[in-house]
Amino acid sequence: MKHLFILLIVFLIFSCKEEQKDKLIYPGEVNFKSIEQITFGGDNAEAYWSFDDKQIIFQSSNNSWNVNCDQMFIMNNNETFESKIPKMVSTGTGRTTCSYFLPDNKHIIYASTHLDDENCPETPLRKEGRYVWPVYGSYDIFMADLNGKIIKQLTNENGYDAEATVSPLGDKIVFTSARTGDLELFTMNIDGSNVKQITHELGYDGGAFFSPDGTKIIFRASRPKGVDEIKEYKSLLSEGLVQPTEMELFICDSDGKNLKQLTFLGNANWSPFFHPSGKKILFSSNYEAVMGFPFNIYTIDIDGKNLKRIT
């Protein structure tokens, strides 16, 4: 009887957890088996899996974790952080963004402003009523181990260097840089050598990721057209700002060749990532929204066909 009672309690706890997960799946979301919330409070973003799927790296400015400026944290794939603080793997100074695992699952890369100033830089999000992102010229890209020890500084140019991700082949890093006066995509070897520019059109190119076989790159981009749009883009960029409200997805070979626009949806199309098959892209978009929200997740084939809403 005692064992039956304990089994009943375990069953009820498990059932409650499953019920909580099921409540996060909305009608029509037929692609999800379960959804579980893993962070609670603060601003948490840019979360990426290790290549072995055992850990997640993400940035947070959770005041209850004694941080008021984005820093990098790491968690195991079965952890949640409602009542405890995850392990910080950045310096705790300046502002950090866009961390990513190396394929060895023992090292990470991320961008940080800490060499320029240990204090947290201001975060302007509005400019004359327009939503903007800051692109700090003090960002550089660093490699660190999972204990937070910086192994190497990978960039050392004037201007914004950030948004770095790594090829599954372990040989290349793709990142966004303003070193030419515009926000373009570059690749470099895993040690920071052999830097090559792979995009050349006016506008913000960022959020790039390699395909599973390392042969292609998907990214988001703005393409200002006309005298007024170009003037506005250049004016904001001169102040270290971009307006990310009009972006489409682009795809190219890993060396920048065969570049083509993938979406023509309007509004903001963000966070593209290859499906494990390499044949589809998952991305977030507000193209169906009237006032900017909500954003939902979609898939599209790498030839731009078969757009499908997931959330």
Strands (E), 62-204: 71-76, 87-88, 96-101, 107-112, 126-127, 130-131, 133-134, 140-145, 150-153, 161-166, 172-177, 184-189, 196-197
Rounded to 10 degrees, what is the CA torsion of 79, 34, 50, 197?
Answer: -130
4-8, 62-66, 139-143: least confidently modelled range? 4-8
Q: At 242, list the tokens.
A: 């971009």
In a domain, 289, yes or no: no
**Given this model, what pLDDT does residue 290 score?**
82
pLDDT band of residue 19 (cuts 50, 70, 90) is: low
> Per-residue pLDDT tens for 280-305?
999 999 999 887 789 999 999 999 99
Verify that 108 and 13 share a domain, yes or no. Answer: no
215: pLDDT strictly greater than 60? yes
Residue 253 lies in a domain: yes
Per-residue pLDDT tens over the stretch 26-52? 989 999 998 989 888 889 999 999 999
Three-state SS across 244-255?
CCCEEEEEEECC
Residue 299 included in any domain: no
Compute the mean pLDDT over every residue in the chain, rounded to the nearest whole number: 91
Mean pLDDT along residues 210-230: 97
Q: Is residue 274 part of a domain?
A: no
Residue written as tokens 């009820």? 12
Domains identified in the chain, total number? 2
Q: 11 and 91, same structural domain?
A: no
Same domain, 99 and 19: no
User: CA angle, 51 as apex, 49 and 55 as ends, to 5°?
Assistant: 45
CA distance 273 to 280: 9
Report the range of poorest mean pLDDT among 77-86, 216-225, 273-282: 77-86
The alpha-carbon radius of gyration of the chain (Å, integer) is: 21
* Domain identity same for 111 and 172: yes
Predicted confidence at residue 6, as pLDDT, reads 42
Please state, in angstroms and rounded to a whole number, the distance separating the CA atoms of residues 194 and 64.
Answer: 41
pLDDT exceeds cutoff 50 at 80: yes
- Does position 208 have pLDDT exceeding 50, yes or no? yes
Same domain? For 210 and 251 the reply is yes
CATH code for the domain in which residue 165 is found: 2.120.10.30
Mean pLDDT score, 198-218: 98
Same domain membership, residue 3 and residue 99: no
What number of residues does the chain have?
Answer: 311
Average pLDDT over residues 98-109: 98
Whether residue 114 is found in the same domain as residue 152? yes
Task: Look up the domain containing 9 and give its range.
Answer: 1-35
- Does one domain contain both 161 and 248? yes
Tell whether 19 and 93 lie within a shared domain: no
Q: Report if residue 79 sits inside a domain.
A: yes
